[in-house]
Amino acid sequence: MGKAVVFGASGAIGSAFVETIADRCPDCDIVAVSRRGDDVRPPVRVLIYDPDDAISLRETCRAVVEPSPPDLVVIATGILHDEGIAPEKSLRELDAAQLQRLFAVNTVLPAMIVSHLSPLMYRQRPYTIAALSARVGSISDNRLGGWYAYRASKAALNMIIRTASIELARRNPQSVIVGLHPGTVDSALSRPFQKSVPEFKLFSPEFAAGKLLDVIAGLEPSNSGGCFDWAGKEIPA
């Protein structure tokens, strides 16, 4: 791998991806994209963008392919809760603004990153685009209910990935685009919901990033369009 780009590089998993890629591939060109532009080890290149601004997002996607397109793009963005936002337990808790916000971050942002980047990616060489998804985005695996906005936004992301895989394969049969489920990671996203998680199933960001990079390394074009967990097992749609 010659070049890797991580969107959401200031988050727990995103920053772990940057560090783990740097450890495993010290000669790689790494670009860390985030809202804040946190300090990272040299020679990682830092790009600051506003994911809510269409122009900023488009220009950032153009910048990350200079001077050459990446071999790996990781989209490590996502939201489960925030100020005034919490996973719903019932239909009566549904809120239009909350639904729109989660879809904007969990579905629309990754979709637009892929939309802007795909025409600029390699046409004759393999590349992989991997976006953080979630097991709860599986429709067939939903047995508990609740978490309407988060589940729906991740299910929609999985459909974006599946649909994009068909188009990207026409341009480059060696391309791969997948969703990745990191498990429950000790981060701000999962912190309010960790009490019921067994200790051995609560992963550090570094562990999750390392396992997901192992999964990415084993992917083939035939896997494109799927969603895989940290152990490499495909998650049903």
Token couple for 152: 């729906």
Handedness of CA 137, 141, 143, 144 (dihedral sign): negative
Token couple for 71: 């071999």
The full DSSP string for 14-36 is: HHHHHHHHHHH-TTSEEEEEESS
Domain segments of the chain: what residues? 3-229
Residues near 133 by beta carbon (within 8 Å), at least 6 away in sequence = 154, 157, 158, 161, 179, 180, 181, 227, 235
Question: Given a cut of 90, is residue 40 above it in pLDDT?
Answer: no
Q: What is the pLDDT of residues 21-31, one digit of tens each?
A: 999 999 999 99
Question: Given a cut of 80, is residue 41 above it in pLDDT?
Answer: no
Q: Which pTM does this prediction carry?
A: 0.94
Q: What pLDDT sits at residue 197? A: 66
**Distance (Å, whole) CA 107 – CA 111:** 6
Q: What pLDDT sits at residue 61? A: 98
- By three-state DSSP, how is residue 58 classified? helix
Token couple for 29: 């060109």
Question: Given a cut of 80, is residue 172 above it in pLDDT?
Answer: yes
Q: What pLDDT sits at residue 186? A: 85
Q: What is the pLDDT of residues 129-155, one digit of tens each?
A: 999 999 999 999 999 999 999 999 999
What value does the mean pLDDT take over residues 38-55?
Answer: 89
In CATH, the number for domain 3-229 is 3.40.50.720
- Measure CA 61 to chain center: 15
Residues near 57 by beta carbon (within 8 Å), at least 6 away in sequence = 49, 50, 51, 109, 112, 113, 116
Give the CA distances from residue 62 to residues 2, 58, 119, 138, in Å, rounded to whole numbers and listed in that order: 18, 6, 10, 32
